[in-house]
Amino acid sequence: MRPSARPRWKPWSSLSSRWARRSPSLNTTYPRTLASQRTTCWTNSAVSTGKGEPAVPAGSSVRRARRPAMARKTFVVGHKNPDTDCICATVALAHLLQARGEENVVAARQGDMRPETQWALARFGVEAPVPIADVRLRVEDAMTRQPITVEPRTPLWEVGQTLHERRIRALPVVGPGQQFLGLISVEELARTLIEGWDHAALDQVALDAESVVRTLGGRVVVAGTQPLQERVRVGAMDLRTMEEWLSPGITFVVGDRKDAQRLALERGVGALIITGNLPVDPEIQALARERGAWVLSVPHHTFRTVRLLELSVPASQVMQRDVLTISPEETLDEARELLARQRSLPVVDGEGRLVGLLSRSDLLRPKGHRVYLVDHNERSQTVEGLEEAELVGIVDHHRIGDIQTPAPAFFRNEPVGATCTILASLYEEQGVDIPPALAGVLLVGILADTVHFRSPTSTARDEDAAARLAALAGVDPDALAEEFFAVSADLSGRSDQDILLGDFKEFTIGEARFGVGYLETPDRAAVGQRREGILAEMDRLRQERGYASILFMVVDLHRGETELWVRGHEAAVARALGLEPAKEGIHLLPGIRSRKKDVVPALSQVAARLRM
């Protein structure tokens, strides 16, 4: 089934049993581009391509390729500034989709991973999601891969035949290693043939004997040692006249005039082309060998032979060198602007290699990528370009946000402490085995988001899932939690901005925007030593992004309390939380641990007050 025809997400309970008990390797490399999968076939003999397509001539220097259907990617991506639960759930959902038979699955992330998240993935040897800036279609998603190409030495006859038979409008010219050299278009070829050649320059062009034979459909009677020249003369006059303009090295076209053939060889011509498939006298052959001249026999009459000789000129003489090119990473919007000026765009990588060809018709085919959102469903947290993609699923454990879809999508949202808990359930429902390494990663995600089950959002389901995952991973969950939080508490080497934005989420309520940072630490005093710099960073960020308020939660893992720092409408935030205004907007909240459950709901009251 073509990717574009793949059915939408089916209910988890109704998936075919053929996907059950399948678990691909966690070290599978999720493809960022398909360029790495490109293969090139050189044709060394006449080959029929089937389906009515023309055969490739024997010895052709044309590289043939087939236009594949666009391979839509399936992106699995979490929210901006991803935390550990977000990253671990992303990896797990991508793995599950692969087990279901999804193709081109890309586990992705928005932004850098925290040190403790990197530690968790390294601890279990699991590959990290790839960083992405957006999910917009790029040139590499729509271009023709492995386009038909020609070499600089390819004769124009083959170029024209290929353009006509394949119904394409341009052919890239490439050198060794697919280095892009130029482009031959139908328009440029027609202009050259109609306006004629620069014969002064053309006379200096050395022809390739093999190309001449292929173009003329002839045979080599005597293989010469001299290079063939495009300087062509026709032996259709009296011998005395002929003597006046015969010169060494030219290509001499003649019929079965033995006297003219002998005279030409004695004057040092580089090649004799005998028309009409006429026999060549052995004496003439012997003289040609003695002089190192070529003798070719062709089936055409003189006029057609001369015309075809012009089409033996190599592609390098006609190709356009100053053409527009584009990178495979550019967006299709950028490509559209260039295609308004040029019909076809060679797609060239950073090392000058041709990796594809993009034409105007390619822009008619693409459908957006498929996207699954993980650990969020707030528009402000989603990846850029989502409006150009097909949102097919959401797996989350937060409040229902403002995401809208033009078509039905799978939506799994449950009141548990971690998205990783939901992923563990999905594996069980589908009968897909969880590899030990992935079980360890899911376990870390649960321990992180539930603060080792001390968060008010933690549930019995989280603890049950953690126990099962710990058994699969063969680890002690308590010891693992201690290791994890020790890594997360280390602030050395982290800037004030990194500390504030390490776990930072935006919320839009009505017309008001809020930002809430979150930090769990066993040593609140160490964070307090950075207070002045972090507060200054909060003020800067609030002004830069236009937040009504910006909050920072410092959660003390040992004492079970939170220090809340507020900048912007401090009094309104305090009233919404049932607190008295505090100096510098800093409050101590005993028993408070959850951003989602304890703080974010109060922001609705702040937004309502701001509207008054």
Q: 393 with 429, same domain? A: yes
Q: Which of 155, 170, 269, 264 is nearest to 217 (CA)?
A: 155
- Residue written as tokens 């940072």? 517
Quick one: pLDDT at residue 2?
Answer: 37
Confidence of residue 572 (pLDDT cuts 50, 70, 90): very high
Q: Find the CATH number of the domain harbouring 416.
A: 3.90.1640.10
pLDDT digits (tens, 9 = 90+) for 300-347: 988 888 888 878 888 888 898 999 999 999 999 899 999 999 989 999
Share of the chain above pLDDT 90, in %: 51
Evaluate whether 142 touches 334 at the Cβ level (below 8 Å).
no
Rounded-to-integer distance, Cα 592 and Cα 595, Å = 9
Q: 63, exposed or middle or buried, with CB in 10 Å at 0-12, 13-18, 19+?
A: buried
136-192 pLDDT per residue, tens: 999 998 898 889 999 998 888 889 889 988 888 889 999 999 999 999 988 888 887
Q: Are 418 and 453 within one domain?
A: yes
Residue 63: which pLDDT band, with cuts at 50, 70 and 90?
Answer: low
Verify that 227 and 79 share a domain, yes or no: no
* 565's tokens: 């720092």
How many helices (H) does the chain have, and how many strands (E)? Answer: 21, 25
Q: pLDDT tens across 73-99, in order?
A: 999 999 998 999 999 999 999 999 999
Q: Looking at the domain assignment, is residue 218 inside a domain?
A: yes
Residue 52 lies in a domain: no
In this structure, are residues 391 and 403 in contact, taking their beta carbons and an 8 Å threshold?
A: yes
Instruction: Write the pLDDT tens digit of every residue in 186-219.
Output: 888 888 777 765 555 445 556 677 778 888 888 8
pLDDT at 489: 82
State whether 358 and 390 are in the same domain. Answer: no
pLDDT value at position 3? Answer: 39
Mean pLDDT of the chain: 84
Helix residue ranges, H only, 167-229: 186-195, 199-202, 209-216
Burial string for 321-332 (b: 16+ CB within 10 Å, else e) reads eebebbebebeb
Residues 99 and 160 reside in one and the same domain? no
**pLDDT tens digits, 100-123:** 999 999 999 999 999 999 999 999
Residues in the chain: 612
Distance CA 71, CA 81 (A): 28
Task: Say if residues 163 and 147 touch (Cβ distance below 8 Å).
Answer: no
The residue among 118, 209, 205, 216 whose CA lies nearest residue 444 is: 118
Q: Could you read off the pLDDT of 459-498 as tens digits, one per residue?
A: 999 999 999 999 999 999 999 999 999 898 888 888 999 9
Domain edge (last residue) among 487, 506, 541: 487
Examine residue 547 and state whether it is found in any structural domain, yes or no.
yes
Helix, strand, or coil here: 179? strand
Instruction: Give the model confidence (pLDDT) of 323-332 as tens digits.
Output: 999 999 999 9
What confidence score (pLDDT) does residue 585 get? 87
Residue 430 phi/psi, 5-degree rounding, is -90, -5
Inter-residue contact 264 to 248 (CB < 8 Å): no
Using 50, 70 and 90 to split pLDDT, how confident is the model at 61? Answer: low
The three-class DSSP label of residue 571 is: helix
- The answer as to whether 38 is a domain residue is no
Q: Which long-range contacts (CB under 8 A, 24 or more apart) does 264-272 make?
A: 264/235, 265/291, 265/293, 266/291, 267/243, 268/293, 269/293, 270/224, 270/226, 270/227, 270/228, 270/229, 270/294, 271/224, 271/226, 271/228, 271/229, 271/295, 271/296, 272/296
Does some domain include residue 43? no
The verdict on 122 and 154 lying in the same domain is no
Q: CB-based contacts of 313: which residues, under 8 Å, 6+ apart? A: 155, 156, 197, 202, 205, 207, 230
The pLDDT of residue 58: 45
Q: Which tens digits make up the pLDDT trace of 526-565?
A: 899 999 999 999 999 999 999 999 999 999 887 878 999 9
Are residue 520 and residue 538 in the same domain, yes or no?
A: yes
Q: Residue 289's domain is classified under what CATH number? A: 3.40.1390.20
Longest dimension (CA), the chain: 117
DSSP assignment of 107-133, as one string? EEEESPPPHHHHHHHHHHT-PPPEE-S
The answer to whether residue 58 sits within a structural domain is: no
- Which of these three, 273, 302, 331, is where a domain ends? 302
The answer to whether residues 379 and 479 belong to one domain is yes
Number of domains the chain contains: 4
* CATH code: domain of residue 560: 3.10.310.20
- Indicate the helix (H) or strand (E) that contains 421: helix 419-430
- What is the per-residue pLDDT for 377? 94
N-to-C CA span, the chain: 56
Coil vs helix vs strand at 13: helix
CATH of the domain at 168: 3.10.580.10
pLDDT digits (tens, 9 = 90+) for 223-240: 988 877 667 778 777 787
- What does pTM read for this prediction? 0.64
Residue 349 within any structural domain of the chain: yes
Q: Are 330 and 192 in the same domain? A: yes
52 pLDDT exceeds 50? no
pLDDT score of 270: 85
Is residue 395 assigned to a domain? yes
| Cβ-proximal residues to 322 (8 Å cutoff; 6+ apart), any chain | none
Taking residues 279-294, report their average pLDDT: 92
Last residue of a domain, one of 441, 468, 487: 487
User: What domain range includes position 573?
Assistant: 496-611
Per-residue model confidence (pLDDT) at position 376: 95
Same domain, 396 and 476: yes
Query: How far apart (Å, rounded) are the C-alpha atoms in residues 169 and 62?
Result: 15
266 in the same domain as 216: yes
Q: What is the pLDDT of residue 525?
A: 86
- Residue 192: per-residue pLDDT: 76
Q: Which residues does residue 138 pair with via DSSP β-bridges, in sequence order?
A: 331
Q: Is the pLDDT of residue 426 over 70?
A: yes
How far are the Cα atoms of 225, 265, 325, 568, 596 from residue 290, in angstroms, in the given order?
Answer: 10, 10, 50, 97, 94
**358 and 481, same domain (yes or no):** no
Q: What count of Cα atoms within 13 Å lies in the side-chain half-sphere of residue 590?
A: 0
